[in-house]
Amino acid sequence: MTPGTSAGDLYRPKYIVTNWLAIVLADMGMTRSDPRIQRTAEMIIARWSKRGGDLTDRHGEICSTGNAVRTLIRFGYLDHPVVQRCIQWIVRTQKSDGGWHCFPSRTGTLDGWEGLAALAEIPGGARDEAVRRAIERGAEFYLRHHLMDEGRVRYPPWFRIHYPTHYYYDILVGLRILTRLGYGKDARLAPAIRWLRSKRSRNGTWKLDTAHPDLDAAHGGYVFEGPVFPLQLEPLDLPSRWATVEALSVLARVEAP
């Protein structure tokens, strides 16, 4: 490995090495047309498709594999054999209730959003019947839970807007996925839409509530291996360009004729 790079471990330390930065760059619209992105994508594929890696089709976790697939598709690697194999894995590991889970479980969780988000990045014309069915079942899972209802008590971290998203779910994440998939008119989104409108400031913008839920004492309870380095792109409690664009895009899809 080249000294000074994160090629040895693309995942740790959080959130300053290749995996986390690649997710953000894909969010920002970067593609393989940039040679630097091409090198990054090739590194992810080569490193994580080795034995025991998250792109091997055997040892993946939906949070890591889903994010990697979503990122690689955005970069322009939909047709890569490793990506195609992992898409099949995402479909195959969907739970019977339509959700996904990062840990052993017979049922899905709203926190397992990365599976549906990855499948949503596949253009409509490139989705086979298995993918289309998985998307339908996944969307129904989220709609059935109104994007927010799971368990006896609502989970507070889902009700804050954050960025970078990385692998943390919030209601805006769910709204983005479902409305992009064409479910903006489904009445079961109404509670989530009301929540989104309630978060709007008087000047018409939205703010970030937190950058990293796991570093927020109010939403703690996470256990880490090694140090964690925050990646914060915008100040908190000020108008956020990212949150505002995302929220307005969701509302535009909901309100479209």
Evaluate if pTM is beyond 0.85: yes
**250 backbone φψ class: left, alpha, beta (φ>0; ψ -120 to 50):** alpha
What CATH number does domain 1-144 carry, 1.50.10.20, 3.40.50.300, 2.60.40.10, 3.50.50.60?
1.50.10.20
- End-to-end CA separation in angstroms for the chain: 53
Query: Alpha-carbon distance 240 to 150, whole Å?
Result: 28
Task: Collect the ranges in the chain with pLDDT lower than 50.
Answer: 1-4, 219-220
Q: Are 47 and 55 in contact (CB under 8 A)?
A: no
Whether 137 and 144 have beta carbons less than 8 Å apart is answered as no
pLDDT (0 to 100) of residue 1: 43
| Chain segment 99-114, per-residue pLDDT in tens | 999 999 999 999 999 9
**For 121-178, what is each residue's pLDDT tens digit?**
999 999 999 999 999 999 999 999 999 999 888 888 899 999 999 999 999 999 999 9
Burial of residue 228, with CB atoms counted within 10 A of its CB: 0-12 exposed, 13-18 middle, 19 or more buried: middle
Name the β-bridge partners of 109. Answer: 100
Q: How would you class 31 by CB atoms within 10 Å of its CB: exposed for 0-12, middle for 13-18, buried for 19 or more? A: middle
Q: Which residues partner with 239 through β-bridges?
A: 207
Domain residue ranges in the chain: 1-144, 161-167+178-257
Rounded Cα distance, 58 and 89, in Å: 8
Q: In 11-166, which ranges are continuous DSSP H helix?
A: 18-27, 35-48, 62-75, 81-92, 114-120, 129-144
